[in-house]
A and B are shown apart, each in its own frame.
Chain A
Amino acid sequence: MARPVVEAVWQALAAIPDPEIPVVSIVDLGIVRSVEWQDDELVVTVTPTYSGCPATEVIMTDIGHALDAAGCAKHRLEIQLAPAWTTDWISAGARERLADFGIAPPGAAAPVARAIDASRLYRRKVRAPVSCPNCGSARTRELSRFGSTPCKAQYRCDDCLEPFDHFKPH
């Protein structure tokens, strides 16, 4: 069996849904960093989202199955930590699907300061407004910094009163 071209592998990976947010694929999330043949072995490099995200192991298993199904006889998964994953890598299409699914998509992630000015640390950050994915209102409030998964916060809309998840900028 001829080995699949890299583009075909990308397509196969793009069909793998995130285990916890099935409307976006792992390629949409930006965690697949590269796909390349090294001799007769296909190497897929993945950058995990949150350190403790329980979906990571499921994703790695799913990738293995997809590569088998795509006809890659020999394949290897590599974990790459740097640069750290950021929600800025989530595709535009996926952001729309998140909103349709009822999850407010993330805004731009703030750069993480390497040297921290302690005099500013404790002041509450002014966060960019998050629009309600149900009615579009900008009058929303954060209920909790963490939601149903590590990557989401819980919000509520003050107009339609619906609670919703917000994919945090990270």
Chain B
Amino acid sequence: MTTDEQLFDYLLRLADSDLVLAQRLGEWVGHGPVLEEDIALTNVGLDLLGQARLWFAYAGEVEARFAGGGRGEDALAFLRDGGDFRNLLLVEQPNGDYAYTMARQFYFDTWHQLVLSRLAASSDARIAEIAAKALKEVTYHVERSTDWVIRLGDGTAESHARIQAAIDDLWMYTGEMFAADETDAALVAEGIGCDLSAVAPLWRDEVSAVLAEATLKLPGEAWMQRGGKQGVHTEHLGRMLATMQWLQRAYPGAQW
């Protein structure tokens, strides 16, 4: 039996990964290597922010069912501390160079598309409709980040070395994407959540194929970090939140 607390937790995971990655991509505003990339990256961020809002809105409604009052999207985004965030560790990693940003995006987009395609058939109608909508947007994201990984990998010696380093460095954050816990198991059992074990081999096939086309090496077996989904984060999240949340913290309730 899935409890509302578990459903709330699950929705926060979806929302927080979108929100945190949108914030990271927003950091590129005005710093993109060329104007087109500046615009494209922030448009991807905008899509993710819009998706985060849809998940947060639903999460707030679910929270109201067990907490006697649900938080709005602003309160969930700007007034929670790091330990309450449920995003994947991958998306909170700093931008690094462009190869680093693209490798992070590629790992995430590929996972995101597979997960959303399953959630679009969720037995929870609200999850299904949000996922179906987001999936259309994420299809563009995947094409874009895949193209970049191939372009950088099969590019110059410099771009090849940089994207390979990024692919290797970020690899240890990919295991968590498929590590199911009790929340995942409870939601899968009722046909609400995505079965991560079914998605894992597809993700690996896809990533392997792209890296091969990009003339890059698939990283080998490695220790996989985990904890983001349970609120245990790398040191980078807190600093990012300090930037993202300062206005609402300094001026509570501030509005445009």
By a beta-carbon cutoff of 8 Å, the part of chain A in contact with chain B is 50-54, 81-86, 112-116, 118-119, 121-122, 124-125, 143-150, 154, 168, 170
Interface membership of chain B positions 202-213, coded 1 if the CB is closer than 8 angstroms to chain A and 0 otherwise = 110110011001
A117's nearest neighbour on chain B, judged by CB, is B202
B135-A51 in contact (CB<8A): no
What would 17 A/B residue contacts be, using CB atoms closer than 8 Å? A51-B49, A53-B50, A81-B130, A82-B133, A112-B136, A114-B117, A116-B114, A116-B117, A122-B146, A122-B206, A145-B140, A146-B36, A146-B39, A148-B39, A150-B43, A150-B47, A168-B140
* Given A51-B137, A121-B206: 12 more A-B contacts, CB < 8 Å: A51-B53, A52-B48, A82-B125, A82-B132, A84-B133, A114-B120, A118-B205, A122-B210, A122-B213, A124-B143, A144-B39, A146-B43
Q: Could you tell me the distance in whole angstroms from the C-beta of A50 to the nearest C-beta in chain B?
A: 6
A84-B206 in contact (CB<8A): no
Tally of contact residues, B, Cβ under 8 A: 45
With most chain B CB atoms within 10 A of its CB, the pick from A51, A114, A116, A143 is: A51
Interface membership of chain B positions 175-214, coded 1 if the CB is closer than 8 angstroms to chain A and 0 otherwise = 0000000000000000000000000001101100110010
Any A CB within 8 A of the CB of B134? yes
The listed residue (B40, B50, B132, B203) touching A112 by CB distance below 8 A is: B132
Any A CB within 8 A of the CB of B139? yes
A114-B48 in contact (CB<8A): no
Residues of A within 8 A of B136 (CB): 84, 86, 112, 170
Contacting residues of chain B (112-141) with chain A, CB-CB under 8 angstroms: 113-114, 117, 120-121, 125, 128-130, 132-137, 139-140
The listed residue (A82, A118, A125) touching B129 by CB distance below 8 A is: A82
B117-A81 in contact (CB<8A): no
The listed residue (A85, A121, A154) touching B36 by CB distance below 8 A is: A154
The listed residue (A52, A82, A114) touching B50 by CB distance below 8 A is: A52
Contacting residues of chain B (19-75) with chain A, CB-CB under 8 angstroms: 36-37, 39-40, 43-51, 53-54
Any A CB within 8 A of the CB of B84? no
Tell me if B's interface is mostly helix, strand, loop or mixed: helix
Tell me if A's interface is mostly helix, strand, loop or mixed: loop
Q: How distant is the Cα of A144 from the Cα of B143 in the complex, in angstroms?
A: 11
Any A CB within 8 A of the CB of B147? yes
The listed residue (A51, A53, A119, A146) touching B205 by CB distance below 8 A is: A119
Interface membership of chain B positions 95-116, coded 1 if the CB is closer than 8 angstroms to chain A and 0 otherwise = 0000000000000001001100
Interface membership of chain B positions 141-179, coded 1 if the CB is closer than 8 angstroms to chain A and 0 otherwise = 011101100000000000000000000000000000000
A150's nearest neighbour on chain B, judged by CB, is B43
Q: How distant is the Cα of A124 from the Cα of B45 in the complex, in angstroms?
A: 22
B143-A125 in contact (CB<8A): yes
Residues of A within 8 A of B48 (CB): 52
B50-A50 in contact (CB<8A): yes
The listed residue (A52, A85, A143, A144) touching B46 by CB distance below 8 A is: A52
A84-B132 in contact (CB<8A): yes
With most chain A CB atoms within 10 A of its CB, the pick from B49, B128, B133, B202 is: B133
Q: Could you tell me the distance in whole angstroms from the C-beta of A44 to the nearest C-beta in chain B?
A: 19
Q: How distant is the Cα of A112 from the Cα of B199 in the complex, in angstroms?
A: 18
Given contacts A52-B48, A144-B37, contact A114 B121 (CB under 8 A): yes
Residues of B within 8 A of A84 (CB): 129, 132-133, 136
Q: Could you tell me the distance in whole angstroms from the C-beta of A6 to the nearest C-beta in chain B?
A: 26
Give the 9 A-B residue pairs with the shortest CB-CB distance, closest first.
Answer: A51-B50, A52-B50, A82-B129, A52-B46, A144-B36, A118-B202, A146-B40, A146-B43, A84-B133
With most chain A CB atoms within 10 A of its CB, the pick from B44, B130, B134, B140 is: B140
B54's nearest neighbour on chain A, judged by CB, is A51
Q: Could you tell me the distance in whole angstroms from the C-beta of A71 to the nearest C-beta in chain B?
A: 30
Given contacts A112-B132, A115-B117, contact A145 B40 (CB under 8 A): yes
Q: Could you tell me the distance in whole angstroms from the C-beta of A12 to the nearest C-beta in chain B?
A: 27
Residues of B within 8 A of A86 (CB): 136
